[in-house]
């Protein structure tokens, strides 16, 4: 089975994007092995911190390198990518060997895809990922699932995916697995 690494772009306990990732995990059950990236210790990017490679940075690089594909679950902040997840992607986009900054990163040709849970700005943020992920040389699977936050979730914390969302998640999972079979 292929290894799919989930990157949940919210560190918030009870994150709706984390709950969406759990739905995707169920969709992938029996089809792929899923793990979640712990990126909570990655510092703010600073070129002065690149060498020697920090343990927290090495850990996320190793996890990405070991995965067959990456599935990002992202909130929308101010109609854009949250700075925290952009920071992580910036770290991971850097060349493994900095003697040539144009060299390969752990993202080189990695199959990636994105889902978003938010109420406003999902289209704009999906468009940013559509540009960013190929730019950092990943093999982007454009079957983006977007979901609104159900009204009751703001009160009880429980994200409930609509049927249409679950259908699109299934389609996205199939497209991701098909990209890995190529
Ligand atoms: C700085 C900030 C900006 C936000 N901007 C948006 C936005 O543009 N659109 C939106 O639908 N929600 C916005 N939200 C609300 C988030 O969608 C909400 O906090 C959501 O719970 C974040 O996802 P999570 O549950 O996975 O953490 C914003 C939240 C924060 C903290």
The structure tokens 């190929």 sit at 134
Structure confidence by residue, pLDDT tens digits, 117-131: 999 999 999 999 999
Cα–ligand 1 centroid distance for 118 (angstroms):
6
Considering only CA atoms, which residue is closest to atom 23 of ligand 1? 75
Ligand 1 center to 6 CA (angstroms)? 19
Distance from residue 134's CA to the centre of ligand 1 (Å): 25
List, in order, residues 6 or more apart from 28 with CB less than 8 Å away: 4, 34, 173
Plot region of 135 (φ>0 → left; ψ -120 to 50 → alpha; else → beta): alpha
pLDDT tens digits, 132-176: 999 999 999 999 999 999 999 999 999 999 999 999 999 999 999
Q: For residue 106, how many other CB atoms are within 10 A of its CB?
A: 20
pTM metric for this prediction:
0.98
Q: Which amino acid residue places its CA nearest to atom 29 of ligand 1?
A: 77
Q: What percent of the chain has pLDDT over 70?
A: 99
Residue 149 three-state SS = coil
Residue closest by Cα to atom 9 of ligand 1: 120
Residue 134's pLDDT is what?
Answer: 98
Could you tell me the pLDDT band of residue 39, with boundaries at 50, 70 and 90? very high
**Residue 157 Cα to ligand 1 middle (Å):** 14
- pLDDT value of residue 144: 98
Which spans in the chain are helix H? 16-28, 55-66, 83-92, 122-135, 153-156, 163-181
Give the domains, in start order, of the chain with CATH numbers: 3-180 (3.40.50.360)
């Amino acid at each position: 089975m292929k290894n799919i690494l989930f990157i949940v772009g919210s560190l918030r306990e009870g994150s709706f994007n984390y709950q969406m990732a759990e739905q995707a995990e169920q969709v992938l059950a029996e089809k792929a092995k899923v793990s979640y990236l712990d990126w909570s210790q990655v510092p703010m990017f600073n070129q002065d911190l690149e060498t020697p490679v920090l343990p927290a940075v090495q850990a996320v690089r190793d996890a990405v390198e070991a995965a067959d594909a990456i599935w990002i679950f992202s909130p929308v902040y101010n109609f854009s990518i949250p700075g925290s997840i952009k920071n992580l992607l910036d770290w991971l986009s850097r060349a493994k060997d900095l003697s040539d900054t144009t060299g390969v990163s752990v993202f080189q040709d990695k199959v990636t895809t994105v889902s978003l849970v938010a109420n406003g700005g999902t289209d704009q943020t999906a468009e940013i990922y559509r540009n960013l992920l190929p730019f950092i040389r990943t093999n982007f699977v454009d079957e983006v699932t977007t979901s609104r936050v159900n009204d009751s979730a703001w009160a009880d914390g429980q994200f409930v995916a609509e049927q249409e969302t679950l259908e699109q998640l299934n389609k996205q999972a199939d497209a991701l697995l098909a990209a890995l079979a190529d």
